[in-house]
Every structure is written in C-alpha cells, then in structure tokens.
Structure 1
Amino acid sequence: MSALLVPDAERDTTPADVARAGLRTTRLRRRARTFATTLTLVVVAAAVAVTALMLGDYPLSATDVVRALVGLDDGPARIVVFDFRLPRVVLGILVGVAFGLAGALFQSVLRNTLASPDVIGVSQGASAGAVGALLLAGVTGFWVSVAAFAGGAAVGLLLYAVSWRGGMTGYRFVLSGIGVAYVCTSVVGYLLTRSDVQEAQAALLWMTGSVAQADWPLVTTLAVALAALVPLVVLVARGLDLLLLGDEQSAGLGLRPELTRAAVIALGVALACAATAAAGPVAFVALIAAPVARRLLGDGSLALVQSALVGVVLVTGADLVAQHLLPALLPVEFSVPVGVVTGAIGGPYLIWLMAAGRTCTS
C-alpha cells in the first residue's frame, strides 16, 4: 500500500539520475565561479588602468579620463592621456597578457609550477641577447628588442634539443633551463664588467624590467605580435587539455603528443620573448599568474584567460605602485622600475612554493 503512495518521479529516480543531476550542478557552479572570477579580474584591471591614467604631475578625475578616451575632450586632458600615460598603461596590459599566457602554457605542458620563462632561462637568454646588443654592437631601441627576442628564442630551441631524449620530460626541461639560466647570467655579468659605467647602467635598467619607455610604435609592435600569437594559443588549447590526460590517453584520442608539446613550448617561448623584448625581463609575472588564476577558479583547468588577466593586474598594479606609491614612501626622486616591485612579490612566493613542496602540477 505504501509503495502505491510514492510519487512516480521518486519511483523512477535511479542512482544514475542522481549522478547526472549532481554533475550538472557541479558544472553550473564551476561556470558561475569562472564567470565571476573573470569578471572580477576584468573590473580590477580596468580600475587599475583608469587609476594609472588619473595620477601624475597633471592630476585628472575619472570623468576627465573617460571623456578623453571616448573623444569628448580635446583639451590638455586628451594630450596627457593619449601622448603620455596611455602608451605606458597599454604596454603594461600587453606585457601582462603575454607573460601570463606564457607562464600558463609552460606550467601546464611541463606540469611544474617552476616552469616559467624567468626560471628556465628564456628571460636570461633574452637578457644576454639584449645586453650583448647594447654593449657589443652599440645598438639601441628596436634592435635591442630584436636581439632580446633572438636570445630568448635561441635558449628555447637549445632547451628543447637538450631535454629531448626519446621524448621530452618536464623535469629534464626545467633542470636544463636552470643550468642554461646560470650560463646566460654569467655571460651578462662578464659583459657588464667589461663595459663603462654609463653602458652598464643602461643595461642594468633594461634587465630590471620597465614600461617607462613605452610609446605607440612599441605598443603597436607588441600588439601585432600578440594578435598573431594569441589565436595560435586558442588553437592549441584543446590539444593541451588532452595532453594533460597523459601521452597514451591523448594519443588514443588522435592527438600527436610530442608535436603538440613542441607547439605549446614554442608559443610559450614566443610570448615570453615578445614581452621581454618590449619591457625587459619583468620578474616573476609568468611564475605567479597561472597558479593564482587556478587558485581563484578552484580547479586544475588551464585557466588561460584568467592567467592573462592576472598578469595584467600584476604588471599594471606593480607599475602603479612603482610609479606613484614607492616614490612617496621612499627617499627617491624618481619612479622605480616595475620589475623591482614584481620581484619583491615573486621572491617570497617562490620561497613559499619551494617550502610547501608545490612544484608539480600533475
């Protein structure tokens, strides 16, 4: 009699139905968290950018900045925004995107949270190329950026060749990169000791990482590079997702693991070299961005978009602190390079990472 009183919906419910309902709920929660995290990062990045456009020797209100950006103000505010402040902010955004994506790609494909350009030698190779161009060839500007890109790319090729032996492993790649980084650092140190004071000062300033040299031609060059590289990142993202399942499983799904791994590493190297060529080796942005993004999402996804946004917040926020906060707190009459601030953030993070033993993402 009691069985006849049970509603049909409850009688027809099976464990499989319950599991499917739970899976749908989990997916909805994950999507909601992803959307909320992404929106929050966009808002924070926009707020930092607008604040950077407001502050300076010629203070502007948020209304002044918005009116200048949309073309409603043709007076001094527009000149200050477009000619002096906006190139620096946009360069910081582009550099943050490039470093954030590079770090996410390296750490995902190598399954190691230490696998970032400034740890595995790519940034050091770019520094060696740039310093060599500055001190040996005597070039400046665009050709320093070209030399930096070439140096970083050469290190990337060397690392892949050295670490590939019957199949490249992330552990071997990272260890090889650390060794190459020391070699490049030694080369830079030797070049600095053989140069005069003014040349060494210029080289050291570049090696610190800064967006103070921003102008529209430099911004345009980096924007074009990212316009070519980011669509390729989107194309390899699905393959990288499958690669995280393991070589055997991904090969069974039709993926060519070694080719995909090489493509991802090449894109990571290209992104890191492009950012370094534009702003110098801004320390630890690539190392921090992806782990922070994954922690905000609360899962082990690639988090490429979120890593790029975290990179933007790190670079623009650090530049805001370096340009306006530190000069007000410290006895200096000039703005500090952004690399000083990111290094101060990334150093303790790296120590914590090693102390916690969280270097492997697999």
Structure 2
Amino acid sequence: MNAAPAPEPAPRASRPGPGSRPRSPGRSRRTALTALVAGVIVLALVAARVLLGTPMVPLDQALRVIGGEAIPGISFIVMENRLPTAVVALLAGIAFGLSGTIFQTLLRNPLASPDVIGVTLGASAGAVIAMSFFETDGRALFWFTLLGGVLTALLILAVAGAGRPGATGAVDNRFVLVGIGVAAALSALVSYLLTRLTLQSAGDAMHWLVGSLSTSTWDRVVVLAIALAVLLPVLALLVPRLRILQLGDETATGLGLAVPRTRIWLIMVAVILCALTVAVTGPLSFVAFLAGPIARMLAGRPSFVLSAAVGAVIVLLADIAGQNLFGSTELPAGVITGALGAPFLLWMLTRTTFSGPGR
C-alpha cells in the first residue's frame, strides 16, 4: 500500500532585506502631516517677522512693496531690514536643523550636536582668531569661521579614529567624547583671545558670539542659499547610505558600503552646514541640538525634512520674541535659543533611556 504523499511545506513569508525596514503607513502620514503643518507655521512666522515691530507694517503695504512698488519708509523697512532678516533666519534654521540631525543620527546619540561636540566653538574660535590677530571682518571673517569649523571636525575625526573601520559604537562614542574635550579646550581659547582685543572689539566679538540676526543682508541670504543649494542634493544622496550605515560597520561593509568614506562625507556635510551658518549669524546656541529630538517627538520617528522645518521655527520664533517681547530692549536670537536649549539639555540628561535619532 503506497503511502500518501507528504504535503508540500507552506511557503515562507519573505523577510525584508537588511536595508529595508518596513514603514507604517500611519507613521508616514503622521510625518507628512506634521511637516505640512510645520511648513505653514514657518511661512506664518516669516510674515510675522516682516510685519511686527516698531513701526508695524500693514500686510497690504508689505505685499505691495514685495511686488515692486516703492512706498517711502516702508520699502526700506521691508526690503532692506525685516525681509532679509526673516529669510536669513529661515535658511539658518534649516541648516542648523539638518546639521544637528546628521550628527545625532550618524553617532546615534541625541547629545551629539555641533554645539556639544565642539564644531560650533571651532567656527567661533576661527572668527575670534581673525578678530584678534588679523583685525579682519566681512568676507575674511567668513572664511576664518568656516576654516575653524572644518579644522575642528578634522581634529576630532583624527583623534576619534572615525576614518578607520571598526566597531560602530566604539567609534561613535569616541567621537562624542573627543568632541566634548575639544569643545572645552576651544572655550578656554576663545576666552583667552577675548582678553587680547580692545574693549570695543571685545564687545563686538561678544555680541557676535551670542548669535544675532541684526546684521542680516541680502548678501548673506545669497551665501546661505547657495550653500543649501549645493549641500542639500549631496545630503539627499548620502541619506540612503546613512540608513545602511545604521546597521553597523560589518553589515554595511558586507553590503558593499565604504564605511569610513561615508562617515567622513556625512560629517563634513554637517560641519560645512553648521560652520557656514555660524559665519553668517554667529553661533545660535542649541538650534542644531533641539531640532532633531523635537522633530522625532512630533512625528514619532526621525525626519530630516521635519528637522529642517523645526530648526527654522526655532530661529524665527527666537528672533521675533527677542525683538518684540521685552519692551524697548531687543535681545539677540542667540540669547533666546540658549535659554530654551539649556533646560532641554538638562531634561535629556536626566532621562533614563532615549532612543537616539535613527533613520
């Protein structure tokens, strides 16, 4: 008697590959909706920055001026003062938000922002060196600031060994720890350099070190716009590699990714975004640190687009508050962002667990 044929095994459900994490449609919709709301808020804040102040500018007159009509007094206020300031705040917030999110995602640490690991201080030190030894300003100051940020990042990379393949966690932890040490040394250097300046120059340097949008011009708008136009496509190309890199060095190498080169490219994009913006606005404290975690809390998952929008909201809100909420006293935007960031940093340090920004 012939035995009955064995039943065929049921087909196994296909598993997603190592680089493809299934995404919930609900979370994607939540992220898209949150980004849309953030975009509307950004536009509203840009309008508020142009209209609010002393004197108030009526909306219809502002639109006429932007449309090309010349209105005595109003044209200067809108086109030469408030509108370039609003656009610089918008672009600076985007750049800081993206820079901080790159660092936090790559190093898997919510504290790994340019403010904390020394990149911002490196850019500031470059500017103060230019003021102390070369008495430069304007374009030369811009290049010294950029050079200071880049050299600081290269120093941290070299000491932390981020250019060598190895255990991801070890490299990431070393990068953060080395960055904190470098930041402490740079802070002491900046303080020493300030003592070499004349009283007036030291006052100007201190005002710049706080971070302010008061000197915003259309030339500075162009600088930030060109930087973002060049760096955003580069970042878009690197984000898929960043997702693979999050799987760990061994897995990423097995998938054909050049791990050290990818890590260095991502860090340099983040550094240039931060240093260029510091050169234009001064070091607006904690914007890069705040944007990524706030975006993650709002959307339920990391999002570069939302982080950029949150960074813009923070800078615009800080500038509007500093200009309008303290009577006759006008506070630089950096004072407001510093006041917001310090308690947020302490709150994050007291949390027992935190799932750092991922992909």
Structure 1 and Structure 2 fold alike (TM over 0.5):
yes
Q: How does 1:1-362 map to 2 (within 5 A)?
A: 27-71=24-68, 73-76=69-72, 77-164=74-161, 166-167=164-165, 169-299=171-301, 301=302, 303-326=303-326, 328=327, 333-358=328-353, 361=356
2:178 alignment partner, SS class: helix
C-alpha separation in 1, matches of 2:67 and 2:251: 51
How much does 1:247 deviate?
A: 1.9
The 8 Å contact of residues 50 and 65 in structure 1, kept in 2 or not, is answered as: no
Amino acid paired to 1:233: L
1:93 alignment partner, SS class: helix
Structure 1 outlier segments of 4+, above 6 Å:
14-17
RMSD after superposition: 2.1
C-alpha separation in 1, matches of 2:101 and 2:258: 20
C-alpha separation in 1, matches of 2:119 and 2:139: 19
C-alpha separation in 1, matches of 2:191 and 2:340: 24
Amino acid paired to 1:223: A
Shift of the 320–239 alpha-carbon distance from structure 1 to 2, 3 Å rule, reads: same
1:112 alignment partner, SS class: coil
Q: TM-score, normalised by structure 2?
A: 0.88
Shift of the 259–132 alpha-carbon distance from structure 1 to 2, 3 Å rule, reads: same
C-alpha separation in 1, matches of 2:92 and 2:139: 16
1:113 alignment partner, SS class: coil
- 1:123-150 per-residue CA deviation (whole Å, 9 max, x = no partner) reads 1111111011112211112211211111
How much does 1:61 deviate?
A: 2.5
Structure in which a larger fraction of residues adopt helix: 1
The 8 Å contact of residues 96 and 273 in structure 2, kept in 1 or not, is answered as: yes
How much does 1:250 deviate?
A: 2.3
The 8 Å contact of residues 113 and 358 in structure 1, kept in 2 or not, is answered as: no
- 1:55-97 per-residue CA deviation (whole Å, 9 max, x = no partner) reads 12231223333343344x4324343211111110111111101
The 8 Å contact of residues 118 and 283 in structure 1, kept in 2 or not, is answered as: yes
C-alpha separation in 1, matches of 2:279 and 2:76: 27
2:294 alignment partner, SS class: helix
State the percentage of identical aligned residues: 40
C-alpha separation in 2, matches of 1:283 and 1:358: 24
Amino acid paired to 2:349: M
How much does 1:198 deviate?
A: 0.8
How much does 1:358 deviate?
A: 4.6
C-alpha separation in 1, matches of 2:237 and 2:355: 25
The 8 Å contact of residues 95 and 312 in structure 1, kept in 2 or not, is answered as: yes
Q: Unaligned 5+ residue runs, structure 1?
A: 1-13, 18-24
Report the count of equivalent residues: 334
The 8 Å contact of residues 210 and 280 in structure 1, kept in 2 or not, is answered as: yes
Shift of the 334–140 alpha-carbon distance from structure 1 to 2, 3 Å rule, reads: farther
Query: 1:20 — aligned with what?
Result: none
1:119 alignment partner, SS class: helix
